[in-house]
Amino acid sequence: MSIRVTVWSEFRHEKESELVRSVYPDGMHTVIAAGIKERLGDDCVVTTATLDEPEHGLTEAVLAQTDVLTWWGHMAHGDVSDEIVERVYQRVLGGMGLIVLHSGHFAKVFKKLMGTSCALRWRDDDSETVWTVRPGHPITQDVPEVFQVPQQEMYGEFFDVPQPDELIFISSFAGGEVFRSGCCWSRGQGRIFYFSPGHETYPVYYQPEIRTVIGNAVRWAAPVATNVYSTQSCPNSPLGWFK
Ligand code: ZN
C-alpha cells in the first residue's frame, strides 16, 4: 500500500523574501514533495499543507489520512496553534511518522515530543559535510558514505535533544563545528527523524543526496500495523490468558 505523506511548511519566507522566492518560487514544500515522489514513486501519495490554510492544513481528516508528516518551519513557530500541535503530537504517539527538517528543531511539536529546549549553535554562510555513521540503516540506502552540501547554514553542538535512539548522520563544517544532523527517536508508536540540512536561501532540497535521505526517512517512518495498543488510557482489565 502506498505511504500517504503530508509535506507541511510554513510558506512565509517565500511570500516575504525575494531571495527565498528566487530559490523556491512555488514554496519549499513543493520541492520537498517532489523529492519524496522522485525517491518513492508509486510507493507514496504526497500532498502538501501550509500554515495559513484553515487549521494549518492539518485537519483531523487530513491527519487521519497521513502516514508520515514532514515539517519545515522557522519564522512563525509561534503562529502554530497549540490545538494543532496537540493533534499532531497525539497522531505521532498513535503511530504517524514525523520527519522534522532544519529549523523545525524549534517547532512546538518537536519540542513537545523531545521534552527539551532543542536549542543549537548556528552561523550563516558555510558549507556542510554530511558523514554517514550508521551504514546499513534504511535511511542510508543509496546515500554516499560522505557528501557535501556546498552552501549551508552551520548548525552545531550542543544540540539540546535527548540522546537519539539511532544516530544516522554527523555533519562537519568549514568552521570546524560538528553536529548530529540525522537522528532517530520513537515516541509511543511513532517514529521521528530529524535531518538538519535545508536553509531557505540555499537550494538544498534540490540536491539528489538530500532527496534520497528524506525519501528513505519517509519509508522508514511509515507506521507498522500493530495489535490494539492504546496511548489514551491505562485500562484496569486483565488480559484473558491470565485468568
Ligand atoms: Zn536556516
Query: What is the residue extent of each domain of the chain?
Result: 3-116+181-229
State residue 152's pLDDT score. Answer: 95
Q: What spacing in Å lies between the alpha carbon of 205 and ligand 1's midpoint?
A: 12
State residue 136's pLDDT score. Answer: 97
Q: Which amino acid is at 196?
A: S
| Integer Cα distance of 227 and 64 in angstroms | 18
State residue 5's pLDDT score. Answer: 98
Q: What spacing in Å lies between the alpha carbon of 195 and ligand 1's midpoint?
A: 12
| Integer Cα distance of 25 and 122 in angstroms | 26
Q: What spacing in Å lies between the alpha carbon of 87 and ligand 1's midpoint?
A: 26
Q: What spacing in Å lies between the alpha carbon of 147 and ligand 1's midpoint?
A: 19
Give the three-state DSSP class for 3.
strand
Q: What spacing in Å lies between the alpha carbon of 51 and ligand 1's midpoint?
A: 18
| Integer Cα distance of 109 and 89 in angstroms | 6
State residue 144's pLDDT score. Answer: 98
**C-alpha atoms less than 13 angstroms from C-alpha of 112 in its C-beta half-sphere:** 17
Q: What spacing in Å lies between the alpha carbon of 200 and ligand 1's midpoint?
A: 6
| Integer Cα distance of 63 and 191 in angstroms | 15
Is the distance from CB of 205 to CB of 48 less than 8 angstroms?
no
Q: Please, which residues have CB within 8 angstroms of residue 39's CB and are 6 or more apart in sequence?
A: 211, 212, 214, 215, 216, 218
What's the CATH code, domain 3-116+181-229?
3.40.50.880
Greatest alpha-carbon span in the chain? 68
State residue 150's pLDDT score. Answer: 96
Q: What spacing in Å lies between the alpha carbon of 71 and ligand 1's midpoint?
A: 14
State residue 243's pLDDT score. Answer: 55
Q: What spacing in Å lies between the alpha carbon of 88 and ligand 1's midpoint?
A: 23
Find cell 515530543 and name the residue.
113
State residue 180's pLDDT score. Answer: 98
Q: What spacing in Å lies between the alpha carbon of 21 and ligand 1's midpoint?
A: 15
State residue 234's pLDDT score. Answer: 75
| Integer Cα distance of 211 and 142 in angstroms | 11
Q: What spacing in Å lies between the alpha carbon of 199 and ligand 1's midpoint?
A: 4
State residue 242's pLDDT score. Answer: 62
| Integer Cα distance of 1 and 84 in angstroms | 27
State residue 174's pLDDT score. Answer: 93
State residue 231's pLDDT score. Answer: 58
Buried b (16+ CB within 10 A) or exposed e, 81-115: eeebbebbbebbebbbbbbbbbbbbbbbbbbbbbe
Q: What spacing in Å lies between the alpha carbon of 75 and ligand 1's midpoint?
A: 10
Low-confidence ranges of the chain (pLDDT < 70): 226-232, 242-243
Q: What spacing in Å lies between the alpha carbon of 155 and ligand 1's midpoint?
A: 9
Q: What spacing in Å lies between the alpha carbon of 45 and ligand 1's midpoint?
A: 27
Q: What spacing in Å lies between the alpha carbon of 27 and ligand 1's midpoint?
A: 15
